[in-house]
Amino acid sequence: MPDKGQLARALEVKNQYEGKLMAHPDVVGVGVGLRQRGGEYTDEVCIVVMVKQKHPLSALDAERVLPTSLDGVPVDVQAVGEIREL
């Protein structure tokens, strides 16, 4: 179970950076959740940055690479496909 302090900190940092992250051309959503590794959730609280599809780092220009952490809070990039309003 996630620590309430970690969750509060992640929400604070997410709120601070959400606008900048959403301005990134590949990002379709930003939230707080648990890191995924190999398709399985871990116990690590992180900022979840949702993209249509993930690309290898070697295929991305430097300005399109998303951060691995923000103010000490880990960032997990997760492919979610296209998000559409219903």
| Domain CATH code at residue 11 | 3.30.300
User: Is residue 26, in this structure, part of any structural domain at all?
Assistant: yes
Query: In the structure, what pLDDT confidence band is assigned to residue 1 with cuts at 50, 70 and 90?
Result: low
52 in a domain, yes or no? yes
Helix/strand number for the chain, H first, E second: 1, 4
- How many CB atoms neighbour CB 60 within 10 A? 13
Q: Which residues pair with 32 in a beta bridge?
A: 47
pLDDT in tens, 20-54: 999 999 999 999 999 999 889 899 999 999 999 99
Domain range for residue 44?
Answer: 4-79
Q: pTM for this one?
A: 0.90
Task: Establish if 85 belongs to a structural domain.
Answer: no
